[in-house]
A = this chain, B = another copy of it.
Amino acid sequence: MQISSSSSSVFLSAKPRPSPLGSPVRIKSLYANTNTPNTNTTSGSSSNSMAAASPKWSQKTITLSPQRRGCHLITPKILKEIGQDLSGFKCGLAHLFLQHTSASLTINENYDSDVRDDTETFLNKIVPEGMSAPWKHTLEGPDDMPAHIKSSLLGCTLTIPITNGQLNMGTWQGIWLCEHRDLATARKVVVTLNGI
């Protein structure tokens, strides 16, 4: 296996130097020393000067309205909520946490909705539901135990890199909310941003 990586690096000091002409559009490597004293004790998330090189945290709970059972592309909704906050981070991580056990978060293709339908088909195929299913936990309906299993298969948590104020996903990647219940309620996602 051959491996290659970009060799361009940007060393962030407290006050980022302007990029030289011809520098790559995308910052590939960042190193930050955040020890710089700063007498400004007011806070904010959008400064592009010294504050940009100091660690910041942002946390917000987003409520998604009830969705039909199946897989849903929610990148636009998430970006609408956190886009402005994201713009304050040169480098960091965005963490999404779904506070439920019968739905899930995953990253997959953002273009053809058939991919989302086929994924729902697959989940229903491997997790038995109804009379023939072997579940003991049936009090909350025939779709509840399958929903719990699907939630653990795909997971309820995602971490995505932030680069230059944006989620640094691949061209075809999107964030999916997978709703595994027939009669779903609203779903809460805790979004935590951390970076410089």
Contacts and interface: CB of A to CB of B under 8 A. Distances in A.
**Looking at chain A's contact residues, is the secondary structure mostly helix, strand, loop, or mixed?**
mixed
A62 B40 CA distance: 37
Interface residues of A, number: 110
A188 B108 CA distance: 15
A58 B30 contact: yes
Interface string A171-184: 11100100000000
Contacts of A35: 34, 36-38, 40, 50-51, 54
Interface in A26-65: 26-45, 50-51, 54-65
A158 B157 CA distance: 8
A109 B148 contact: yes
Contacts of A137: 112, 114-115, 117-118
14 contacts: A5-B63, A31-B57, A31-B58, A31-B85, A33-B40, A35-B36, A35-B50, A35-B51, A36-B39, A37-B39, A59-B161, A121-B134, A125-B128, A157-B158
Interface of A: 1-6, 11-15, 26-45, 50-51, 54-65, 67, 72, 74, 77, 80-81, 85, 91-93, 95, 97-101, 106-109, 112, 114-115, 117-119, 121-122, 125-128, 134-137, 139, 145, 148-149, 151-161, 163, 168-173, 176, 188, 190, 192, 194-196
